[in-house]
Structure 1
Amino acid sequence: MLTEAHAVLPASDLKRAQEFYHNSLEFDPAEEEEGNLIYRLSSGTGFEIYETSNAGTAQNTQMCFLTDSFETDMAWMRDHGITFEDYDFPGLKTENGVATIGDTHAAWFRDSEGNYICLTEAG
């Protein structure tokens, strides 16, 4: 049966994406193949970034990072140049980049390729 899933993100400029994830999140690829970067996190999960002209066209969350230290990680990310988005939609309003839904906190940012990435902590 299905045992694991990971995100696959598009990049119009793979080198720029690699620099973003290195400089902003201190991630380096575990593997590099032609046109593809593979990242592995300490939890055993991971994600891929591949080069395509379709990058930046999705207007939805494409990947979430889960954390148990939301405020600390958000501050660290801001210190590394990440800008969090603000939203005011029916059912979702952020304050200083943070949405609180029950006991869950979430915040969204875009990577260098325009992909929407979420940071979230369940309460």
Structure 2
Amino acid sequence: MLRDTEVAAVLPAKDMNRAKDFYRDKLGLEPMEPGDDNLMFQCGNGTRFLLYQTDNAGTARNTQMGWVTDDVERDVQDLRSRGVVFEEYDFPGLKTENGIATSDAGKAAWFLDSEGNILSLFERP
């Protein structure tokens, strides 16, 4: 049943106005409908994600959502030009260089949104 059902990510936001500004100004996304309590955004192929108000925002220490891209370097450069700051990691099995990790699985880059949520870009080989 679920394999044929659309999936939508859900992200927490402590400050909805700040989050809306970040997603609009830094990522170039507009909410599907105006709202104060929740904001729904649509991305490629009909995928969506919801931002909702909670004081728990920014407490997860794992990647919460990611975009699949055909060119991580291009997208990192574009987002940096908008003020997005990419994380640098150096863990066993994961090391970024200039914000991008490369492995047999592909290339990936991570950044924080205005609410402390960890987001990613991923390029398959």
Residue 113 of structure 1 aligns to which amino acid in structure 2?
E
Moved over 2 A (4+): 31-34
**Deviation at residue 103 of structure 1 after TM alignment:** 4.9
**Deviation at residue 69 of structure 1 after TM alignment:** 2.1
Alignment correspondent of 2:82: 80
**Deviation at residue 32 of structure 1 after TM alignment:** 3.6
Residue 110 of structure 1 aligns to which amino acid in structure 2?
L
Post-superposition CA distance 1:77-123 (Å, at most 9, x none): 01010110000111111111111111500000000000000011001
User: Any gaps of 5 or more consecutive residues in structure 2?
Assistant: none
CA distance in 1, matches of 2:18, 2:101: 29
**Secondary structure at the counterpart of residue 67 of structure 2:** strand
Alignment correspondent of 1:29: 31
**Deviation at residue 42 of structure 1 after TM alignment:** 3.3
User: Any gaps of 5 or more consecutive residues in structure 1?
Assistant: none
Residue 98 of structure 1 aligns to which amino acid in structure 2?
I
Query: Under a length normalisation based on structure 1, what TM-score does the superposition of the two structures give?
Result: 0.95
CA distance in 2, matches of 1:101, 1:34: 40
Query: Under a length normalisation based on structure 2, what TM-score does the superposition of the two structures give?
Result: 0.94
Aligned residues: 123
**CA RMSD for the aligned pairs?**
1.1
CA distance in 2, matches of 1:9, 1:44: 17
- Identity, in percent, stands at 53
